[in-house]
Amino acid sequence: MTGPGPRRRTGGPSRTTELVKRHPVHDEPFLLQIDATAPGMDLTAWVNGNRGQLHDDLDRYGALRLHGFAVDDAADFSRAARAFSGDLLGYLERAAPRTEVAEGVFTSTEFNAEQWIPFHHEMSYSHNWPSRLYFYCEIPSGEGGATPVASERAVFPKIPAEVRERFARDGVRYVRNYGPHLDLPWQEVFQTSDRAEVEAYCKASGTEFTWVGEDDLRTTAVRQATAVHPRTGEVVWFNHAHLFHVSNMPAEVSRALIAEYGVEGLPRNAYYGDGTPIEDEVVELIRNLYQEASVSFGWERGDVLVVDNFLATHAREPFAGDRSILVAMSDLHVHGEAS
C-alpha cells in the first residue's frame, strides 16, 4: 500500500482555535484529548497560537493528548515541544538507558519490551527534575506498548495518613550502585568519564559517594517524598521509593544479587530517610494505587502526549514488535528553590 502524499500544513493562530475538538479521557477530569479536525495542521503553529490555554489545560487535566496533527519526525516533535515551553532539558543522573536522537529529544526507556515499567514521576529520585514531559509516537507497536498515566489527585488522598506522615518526616533514602555488571555504568548515568565531574555533581546535589573496587560507584541521597506544584500549590506524592525498592525486582533476581553483592550492593534500593527498611507492603500499596488510577489510550503515529510531571505519573506496558516513542523534557524544577 502506498503512503499518503505530502501534507499541506495549515493552521496559524487566527484559524486553529475552532479547528480542534476537546474532551477529557477520564471524568475526574483527567487527560484532555485535543483532536485536530483539519488535515495537515501544524502542531507547532497551533501551540504557538494557543500556548496560554494549553498551560491552563495542563494545570487542570494533568496530561494532554494531541492527536491528528502533522508531526512527521523528531525535528517536528522538538519544535512543538519548544513552542510549548521553550528550551528542552538534557538528561543527567540517569536511571535508564536512552539515546539522544535530536537535541533535547531522547528515545524512551530502553528496557526489555516484555517488562512493565511501573508508574513514576520522572527523576523524582533527584534534587531537580523536569516539570513537563513530552512523548511522541514515531512508530506505534503492533501489540501493547501504551504509556498509561495516573492522576496524583486520585492517588495521593488514598495513601494512608500514617504512611504519608512517615515519609514526609523522613524522606526517602536512595542507594545506587553503578557498574557494568550491576546497573548502568556511572559514565552513562552522569554523561562523563571524568571522576572529578561526578564528584562535583554529587557534592552540589547533596549526594554521598564512594568509589568501589577499580571503577564502580555507590551513591546515597536523601530526597523528598512529596512535592508542591509550582503553580497550583497542590501537595503531591513525589518519589521513586516504590520503583527503586528491592521488592520491585523479581524475587529470584533479588535473592541472587543479595547473595553475590549483599543488600548494600544492590543496583538500587530505597529506604526511609533515616535508613530504616521500607516495608514491602507499603511500596506495594503505592504501586497498586497507581495501577487502580491508570488511564490509557492506544498510540497512533504522530500523537504527542504532554504530561505535568507533578500532577501525573506515567508507565509503560509490555509490547511486541517495533515501537518508537520519543521523549523530551522542559522546565527544570530544583527542590527547595522558590518557583
Contact 290, 41 (CB under 8 A): no
> Is residue 336 left, alpha or beta, with left meaning phi > 0 and alpha meaning psi from -120 to 50?
left
CB atoms within 10 A of CB 339: 10
Query: For residue 226, which phi and psi values (nearest 5 degrees)?
Result: -130, 165
Same domain, 115 and 178: no
What mean pLDDT is predicted for residues 122-150? 95
Same domain, 81 and 181: no
Same domain, 226 and 313: no
Band of residue 9 on the pLDDT scale cut at 50, 70, 90: very low
Same domain, 171 and 151: no
Nearest to 201 by CA among 132, 130, 126, 271: 126
Euclidean distance between CA atoms 83 and 330, whole angstroms: 11
Same domain, 34 and 133: yes
Q: What percent of the chain has pLDDT over 90?
A: 76
| Model confidence at 65: pLDDT above 70 | yes
337/155: higher pLDDT: 155
Domain of 122? Answer: 17-155+297-334
What mean pLDDT is predicted for residues 278-298? 97
Euclidean distance between CA atoms 317 and 150, whole angstroms: 13
pLDDT at 110: 66
Domain containing 193 — which CATH number? 3.60.130.10
Nearest to 72 by CA among 286, 304, 321: 304
- Structure letter (DSSP) for residue 62: S
Same domain, 326 and 258: no
Angle at 30 between CA 26 and CA 35, to 5 degrees: 80
In a domain, 1, yes or no: no
In a domain, 8, yes or no: no
Copy the grid coordinates of residue 264.
548494600
CB atoms within 10 A of CB 107: 17
| Model confidence at 205: pLDDT above 70 | yes
What mean pLDDT is predicted for residues 295-311? 97
Q: Residue 252: enclosing H or E segment and its boundaries?
A: helix 251-261
In a domain, 339, yes or no: no
Q: 166-201 pLDDT, tens per residue? A: 999 999 999 999 987 777 889 988 889 999 999 999
For the chain, the maximum distance between any two Cα atoms, rounded to a whole number of angstroms, is 65
Same domain, 164 and 266: yes
Unique residue bearing C-alpha cell 539522544: 100
Band of residue 242 on the pLDDT scale cut at 50, 70, 90: very high
In a domain, 219, yes or no: yes
Please state the domain count of the chain: 2
Side chain identity, residue 330: S
Euclidean distance between CA atoms 255 and 125, whole angstroms: 24
Same domain, 149 and 103: yes
